Amino acid sequence: MHHQENRAILLVTCQDKPGIVSAISTSLFHHHANIVQSDQYSTDPEHGRFFMRVEFEWEESKANYQSIQEALKQIAQEYAFTYKVEKASRKKQMAIFVSKENHCLSEILWKWKAGELYANIPLVISNHKDAQEEVESYGIPFYHIPATKENRKEAEEQAIQLLKDHQVELVVLARYMQILTSTFVSQFPEKIINIHHSFLPAFIGANPYAKAFERGVKLIGATAHYVTDDLDEGPIIEQDVMRVDHRHSAKDLKIVGRNIERIALARAVQWHLDDRCIVHQNKTIVF
Amino acid sequence: MHHQENRAILLVTCQDKPGIVSAISTSLFHHHANIVQSDQYSTDPEHGRFFMRVEFEWEESKANYQSIQEALKQIAQEYAFTYKVEKASRKKQMAIFVSKENHCLSEILWKWKAGELYANIPLVISNHKDAQEEVESYGIPFYHIPATKENRKEAEEQAIQLLKDHQVELVVLARYMQILTSTFVSQFPEKIINIHHSFLPAFIGANPYAKAFERGVKLIGATAHYVTDDLDEGPIIEQDVMRVDHRHSAKDLKIVGRNIERIALARAVQWHLDDRCIVHQNKTIVF
Amino acid sequence: MHHQENRAILLVTCQDKPGIVSAISTSLFHHHANIVQSDQYSTDPEHGRFFMRVEFEWEESKANYQSIQEALKQIAQEYAFTYKVEKASRKKQMAIFVSKENHCLSEILWKWKAGELYANIPLVISNHKDAQEEVESYGIPFYHIPATKENRKEAEEQAIQLLKDHQVELVVLARYMQILTSTFVSQFPEKIINIHHSFLPAFIGANPYAKAFERGVKLIGATAHYVTDDLDEGPIIEQDVMRVDHRHSAKDLKIVGRNIERIALARAVQWHLDDRCIVHQNKTIVF
Amino acid sequence: MHHQENRAILLVTCQDKPGIVSAISTSLFHHHANIVQSDQYSTDPEHGRFFMRVEFEWEESKANYQSIQEALKQIAQEYAFTYKVEKASRKKQMAIFVSKENHCLSEILWKWKAGELYANIPLVISNHKDAQEEVESYGIPFYHIPATKENRKEAEEQAIQLLKDHQVELVVLARYMQILTSTFVSQFPEKIINIHHSFLPAFIGANPYAKAFERGVKLIGATAHYVTDDLDEGPIIEQDVMRVDHRHSAKDLKIVGRNIERIALARAVQWHLDDRCIVHQNKTIVF
């Protein structure tokens, strides 16, 4: 995605209704904004759900971004749609939560530094100190908030306060091994991305890699999803798999698992940062 | 894709210009047509190329398809765009050319009968008789047109005549081992799809599978593309690969090759039939 | 795999014990048999499980296949191993069971005719008549055995009798929508291969494709496995996935599902026919 | 792979000859060494090439690794085979060469630190200083050897001396943008691994990503290979691809390219470190 000063992304979702695309595109045209890329999808043209992503650029000499925003606000009221419009040049505030394992953290940090993830990272929060040195080597503040049964409430409150202080818009759970309460989750709806391993078939309970080994699975997968109250069951953003065979020990399967987790999580984060995701019920539309 | 009576697909390409999306979507709205799905992409918003695919449905009680067509024609003139509008319910006339190997033919025929490929197949043409029984078992007329050095011109003329008689809109070269002349190709621009094997690296000359074996390649690929005068170099529609290892003999690599050819060709044919492809210069935009 | 007259495949499994490889390879050497390819794997060298596949060729002027067989029998007794030795040139007797949907059947039949599956197919059994014409066009006898709640026992007995009459060694359930009783399964241990769809996460209950659509999954998979009494839970032979997105309707997901089922089942059948699979507990070693 | 003290890996290649497997396995057995995993492959049993990899463990109370080594040496003479035997616990000396782009370097370093690559890294050499801080943060010495047209000979001599001083056994070219002379290459036969992008079709000359964009390729690949005098044409170890579409700009394709380079190179390096590769002519057997 390009991040020019004069480019913005509009995400729209609503009950489908005739004339929405016409209203939006005509308004953009009148405000000297040109559609560079757009994707639109309706579940059902009659009574279905409407989803749209529009990337547009305005002519800087003629257009005024504020006027465009106001025009979109008015159309949104008229058509009763939910929307978000964002300058492509604005970097989102992204926080990362990590525990001991750093594979997802390292991937995100590396891609961020390489310019593949367009965001600011004002802080990393961990319930352990293992990642501190790595995080600080990137010049990113690291907060150690130990999590115990006793202090869960206080620890979460501290974390929420830090996220608010930094106006965080995306929380990436990069193998954060603590369950977030619904108090926490409800403050960041559709703004927390988690990664977890995925198996065919699903292996319930402890030590799924040992079970996958015993069962002789041929694929190891990972699923990146938005976090809702229903643990590991939120709207899926991305999934991927890698092949394995009988020569992979349970430990080897775990290593494969973390490598596919790195890939799936990084893609999901990138798509969110590029405003390509719209959540509807328990599903993510990725444009 | 759905193929209801009241659904159509519009494909547009032109020099990018402000207002095109607005003009099209507003016109559809005024004609009681609702956009079900749309994809739009511009290479460069200033002086670039504009591509769009719109799937729309009209309210049968209020709308008139002919009026919609006329309205689009007028907008096309105004904005100087090239377009195509097609009823989703209309089946395209598709011919298949085959030689001796039937792997791609069988795949296309099977998917066609299974309802995965939305087309009529008025005829299959071959320079051999090997496929006759299989083709006729599907109730499809089979034409044997032998191709020799001496009769190439007459053979092509006969084939062109047959294709015209059946108003063929898509010619699938399902491992047809004859080179088509530019006379033939020029009569069916962007309407002939071919499949050929692809290697990393490319192996020039005869017997590429033997060379791939000697080189120990780890992937065998296939490329489906539109046919232009430049042999095997037309706009790419789809590519895919399969993994191989040292235990695959040259003969085994060939078998892998034909299996990946089946998959890549069938996908390209489906995307063409669903009007998802727009060719620009030597490139295919697949929406 | 090559199927010369003077080639055989040996599969061995047992408790690991020092000297097994030495005993087998030395015996083959003394009998003028040369190892062409071999794979061996132990779960744990101390008290683990030993698995081996050996492909060997004998010098026809000097060697005697019967002597080789007798020598292997003797070593097997000495080392208490379970084994199977098969001439590569011998085609296995393979039966196919199918119901109404023919996608897996067609794939197996096509690959069989193309020489990709090395087997005889003495019969196809179905509880419906839909596949009769297709099966008979290959010159394969088709048996229609209707299955109702009332006649299940008789129907299975009839099927078992047919399989025994044709000395069937592999039963491929190519979307056979009847549950086999443990009486049936116990007669063909590790000789029945089934295919079923696989989702990440698993969707329990009726209509998994509708649920996968609602959940917005990004991958659709299939698992080919040996059939045991535990429905859909036998040792996995092969798994594969295909990517999907929000534009795939529940019906489209089903089509993707059947295409990945074709691929996964055909691979599993080929590996079984090439004697590449060894089952241990609930796991398949695929060499 | 396990790296116990009492485990070793044997790699063998030679003209095929009866009795080799028997001789090796019997000798190991007599020396109280148990075969844990073995793979063997012959191109042709009559006059072909024989390749074998054996992973074995000895009983520490009874066996003597030196005696095993001597026994293997003797068999090697008898059967005229080329071999290498290595303790699994011994870490190889691995050097990394890098220029400005750090994507491959970072991947290797991260996997190394995570314990996925079993090696020592005594030094990293670069013709630029960009990677210095990253390399040193891992506690690895960094050598800056500028490479100009004038000093190529001296620069290479300096590098060779450093590699010899550290007894380097594997040189990883992690996007090192200098051509190595045959003097250099000849000192490290089958011990230099390079990564380069791979396209279908191949795009010759400068700026292949721009050409791939213009051609609308659907896959971007990477090939990891041993370096020979024939630039980018040495024996292939691993290849992989990622999907792309028209929305990827030339710059995006480059980003995809570097992500698939990371994956393919890391796998090749791991397989080399685990002694899974045997080179024969211009081909790599990967067991």
The pLDDT tens digits for D193-218 are 999 999 888 887 788 999 999 999 99
Which of the listed residues D58, D87, D116 is the one where a domain comes to its end?
D87
Which tens digit of pLDDT belongs to each residue from D220-231? 999 999 999 887
Nearest-Cα distance to chain C for D204, in Å, is 31
C69/C179 same-domain check:
no
Burial status of residue B113 (CB atoms within 10 A of its CB: 0-12, 13-18, 19 or more) = middle
Asked if residue A161 and residue A83 are part of one domain, the reply reads: no
Is A152 domain-assigned?
A: yes
Residue A61 binned pLDDT confidence (cut-offs 50, 70, 90): very high
- Same domain for B47 and B97, yes or no, is no
Farthest CA pair distance, chain D: 66
Give the closest-approach CA distance of D124 to chain B in angstroms: 29
| ipTM (interface predicted TM) | 0.93
Each residue's pLDDT tens digit, C64-78: 999 999 999 999 999
Active-site annotation holder among B130, B229, B232, B274: B232
Angle between helix C20-30 and helix C65-79 axes, rounded to 10 deg: 160
User: Same structural domain for residues D164 and D214?
Assistant: yes
Confidence of residue C155 (pLDDT cuts 50, 70, 90): very high
User: DSSP character for C49?
Assistant: E
Q: Is residue A279 part of a domain?
A: yes
CA distance B184 to chain D (A): 23
Do the Cβ atoms of B135 and B124 come closer than 8 Å?
yes
Q: What is the mean pLDDT of residues A203-213?
A: 88
Query: Catalytic: C232?
Result: yes
- Res D45: pLDDT: 63
* Residue C2: inside a domain: no
> Worst-scoring range by mean pLDDT, B134-138, C41-45, D90-94, D185-189?
C41-45
Contact C198 A199 (CB under 8 A): no
SS3 D270: helix
**Separation in Å, CA of D3 to nearest CA in chain B:** 26
Contact (CB<8Å) B216/D236: yes
Q: Which two tokens stand for residue D273?
A: 């470190």
Are D67 and D114 within one domain? no
The total of structural domains in chain D comes to 2
Residues B131 and B201 in one domain: yes
Residue B47's pLDDT band, with cuts at 50, 70 and 90, is confident
CB-closest option in A25, A34, A39 to B45: A34
Nearest residue in chain C measured CA to CA from D41:
C37
Phi, psi (5° rounding) for residue A268? -60, -45
D neighbours by CB contacts (3+ pairs under 8 Å): A, B, C
- Which residue in B has a C-alpha nearest to residue D199's C-alpha? B200
Read off the CATH number of the domain in which D35 is found.
3.30.70.260
Mean pLDDT of B212-223: 94
- Write the CA distances from B203 to A196, B162, B200, B236, integer angstroms: 42, 36, 8, 19
Q: Which of B87, B113, B146 is a domain's end point?
A: B87
**One domain, residues D81 and D177:** no
Instruction: Answer yes or no: is D1 within a domain.
Output: no
- For residue B17 the two structure tokens come to 């210009």
Residue B226 CB neighbour total at 10 angstroms: 22
Q: Is the predicted pLDDT of residue A284 greater than 90, yes or no?
A: yes
Rounded to the nearest 5°, which phi and psi values hold at B132? Answer: -55, -50
**A218–C202: do the CB atoms touch at under 8 Å?**
no
Burial class (CB in 10 A: 0-12, 13-18, 19+), A235: buried
The SS3 assignment for C157 reads helix
Task: Give the chain D residue nearest C43 (alpha carbons).
Answer: D36
Question: In this structure, are B169 and B182 located in the same domain?
Answer: yes
B109 closest CA partner among C197, B100, B98: B98
Catalytic one of A44, A230, A232, A252: A232
Q: Which residues of B touch A25 (CB under 8 A)?
A: 21-22, 25-26
pLDDT digits (tens, 9 = 90+) for A228-264: 988 778 999 999 999 999 999 999 999 999 999 999 9
Q: What is the mean pLDDT of chain A?
A: 95
Average pLDDT, chain B: 95
Q: Is the peptide bond before D235 cis (omega within 30 degrees of 0)?
A: no
Residue D2 lies in a domain: no
**Which residues pair with residue B15 across a beta bridge?**
B49
Kindly tell me if the per-residue pLDDT of A57 is higher than 70.
yes
Q: Is the pLDDT of residue A282 over 70?
A: yes
Kindly report, residue by residue over C187-224, the tens digit of the pLDDT.
Answer: 999 999 999 999 888 887 788 999 999 999 999 999 99
To which H or E segment does residue A84 belong? strand A82-87
| Cβ contact B36–A25 (<8 Å) | no
Residue C45 clears pLDDT 70, i.e. is over it: no
> pLDDT (tens digit, 9 = 90+) per residue, C2-13?
899 999 999 999
Residue B62 covered by a domain: yes
Provide the pLDDT for residue B46.
65
Distance CA A154, CA B148 (A): 85
For position B179, which CATH number holds?
Answer: 3.40.50.170
- With contacts defined as CB-CB under 8 Å, which chain A residues touch B18? 29, 32, 34
- D254–chain C nearest CA distance, Å: 23
pLDDT at residue B59 greater than cutoff 80: yes
**pLDDT of A45 strictly over 70:** no
- Assign D240 a pLDDT band (cuts: 50, 70, 90): very high
Taking a C-beta distance cutoff of 8 angstroms, is the pair D262, A52 a contact?
no
The token pair that represents C39 in the structure block: 């794979």
**pLDDT higher than 90, residue B248:** yes
Interface of chain C against chain A, CB under 8 Å? 41, 51, 198-202, 214-219, 221, 223, 233, 235-241, 245-247, 281-286
Task: Say yes or no: B252 and B282 in one domain.
Answer: yes
Claim to verify: residue B79 and residue B146 sit in the same structural domain: no
> C interface mutation test: which of A200, A217, A241, A252 has the most C CBs within 10 A?
A200
Closest to A124 in 3D by CA, of A162, A81, A165, A181: A162
Q: Residue C46 — very low, low, confident or very high, per pLDDT cuts 50/70/90?
A: low
- How do beta strands A219-226 and A192-198 pair? antiparallel
Evaluate if residue D271 carries a pLDDT over 90.
Answer: yes
The residue length of chain D stands at 287
Please, are residues A104 and A261 in contact by the beta-carbon 8 Å criterion? yes
SS3 label, residue A183? helix
The partner residue sitting opposite B106, judged by closest CB among C110, C137, C255, is C110
| Three-state helix/strand/coil letters over C63-107 | CCHHHHHHHHHHHHHHHCCEEEEEECCCCEEEEEEECCCCHHHHH
Please state the three-class secondary structure of B58-85 as a single string.
Answer: ECCCCCCHHHHHHHHHHHHHHHCCEEEE
Q: Which of C39, C229, C230, C232 is catalytic?
A: C232
Cα-flanking dihedrals φ and ψ of residue C10, to 5°?
-115, 130
* pLDDT (tens digit per residue) in D131-151: 999 999 999 999 999 988 889
Whether D204 and D229 share a structural domain: yes
Residue D112 belongs to a domain:
yes
Q: Do D130 and D76 belong to one domain?
A: no
Identify the pLDDT of residue A148.
87
Confidence band (pLDDT; 50, 70, 90) for D43? confident
In a domain, A1, yes or no: no
Range of the structural domain that residue A12 is part of: 7-87
Give the angle B52-B54-B60 at the CA atoms, nearest 5°.
155
Last residue of a domain, one of C87, C114, C137: C87
With 0-12 / 13-18 / 19 or more C-beta atoms within 10 angstroms meaning exposed / middle / buried, residue B157 is middle
The residue with greater pLDDT, B147 or B231, is B147
Stated pTM of the model: 0.96
User: What would the mean pLDDT of C39-58 be, rounded to a whole number?
Assistant: 90
Mean pLDDT of D230-238: 88
Cα B125 to Cα B161: distance, rounded to the nearest angstrom? 12
pLDDT category, D46, cuts 50, 70, 90?
A: low
- Looking at the predicted structure, is the pLDDT value of residue B45 above 70? no
Does the pLDDT value for residue A24 go beyond 90? yes
Is the predicted pLDDT of residue D100 greater than 70, yes or no?
yes
